Structure 1
Amino acid sequence: MTPTTVPDNPASFPTEEASFALDGPAGKLEAISNAAEPGEARRGVAVICHPNPVQGGTMHNKVVTMVERSLRESGLDTLRFNFRGTGASEGSYDEGDGESEDLAAVVAWVRRVRPGDALWLAGFSFGSYVTIRNAVRLQAAALVSIAPPAGRFALTSVEPPQCPWLIVQGEADEVVEPQAVFDWIDSLPVTPELVRMPETSHFFHRRLMDLRGAVKHAVQPWLPPRRDG
């Protein structure tokens, strides 16, 4: 289904799937929002970040859209967006620094239109690097990291979040070295919940539904109260 196009910088969170632009530090940022089913809705919004645009990553990536679906089915409203220089987003790739400011701008809009909601951050690959490095300063209520690129980006120098944190890593990942991820997790002063998926590649080929189940199961205890409660 094609999202409904709404005016830029909406004054409220759309009640149906919608596409729009948000003001970012390098220009417009292309975004798509989705709302949880009314009877299942929780008082929270998840912002989901995509993999490296240099390698073709966008907010339409299948892993990103499956994580979005998983969190929406869990009751969270969701927002995906394209980093600077990706799709219709303005600007150019900035190795995670500018993308961190893109994320901060998107989060600022979410907090403006949903001031009482819990903010969740989720990301896949490069997107998980951006969300991990900003989880503390953006005061995320929960963090979901899919195939975090340990060994490819400087995750060891990032202050780890204290919030609930799920990491899902395929054991046959051909892009991110799985053992580098496991070694990095072992070095952390906090203990994230780790789901290791055997015989699973970086893009979760033939394992997307397993990813959906893993995310939904793991985040269940962390969900905020129901919106109508």
Structure 2
Amino acid sequence: MIKLIFGLLLAAFLSVWSLHHISEARSFSRNLAAPPQEIKYFTLGMSNALADLFWLRLIQDMDYCGGVNVTEVNWEEVKKERPKCSDGWVAKMFHIITELSPDFYLVYRVGITALPIIVGDREGAENFIKKATARFPKDWTIAYRSAYFYIYEIRDPVRAAELLKIAGENGAPDWVFSLSARLFDEGGQLLLGISVLEETIKTTKEEYLRKDLAKKLAKLKAKYEKLKK
């Protein structure tokens, strides 16, 4: 009975909290506060349910950065501020959700690409990728997507190649395994970037983000075609 009452109160609180934020204009600057990490000790056995609720909250503002929600109108301006995103609200939400529900696979899979590509939070992405690869050390999708970060964000082809090798050994398409040996040349790096960006575009709903990702993809494809000549 206590758990039921707690769950109902928590759901009501989070519903009001979410509706409050949804009602605010997306172009307004505002600061979002992530739940304290200690909340995982006070869930009364409902940590998975709480993780679900926080996940629903996170996807409403997945593009939040530097106190500003991204919109089609302010996207170009916000991109200039991206270096200010350092282990920000989105990264903290990904972390607490996976603390509450350590095997919440979808959250890991989304986070390792959303943080570096959509949010532009390099520090938050690196921390979360380390967490994801430690939790799912033999998952080829996690390893494959993480390799993009190490190539394009911190320029570490050695670690990227290790991850692609892991992916190839655990169910990835054959070309992924062979690509691991090519990450020390520009062509291999471009192929990895093209593949990950194409996948990200397919799963991104916001049209302005899709357009921006498509521009990045076109540049990589142009470089690759030029390299082949």
Taking structure 1 as the reference length, the TM-score comes to 0.31
Structure with higher RCO (Cα < 8 A, 6+ apart): 1
Q: Counting strand residues as a fraction of each chain, which structure ranks higher?
A: 1
Taking structure 2 as the reference length, the TM-score comes to 0.31
**Rg larger in 1 or in 2?**
2
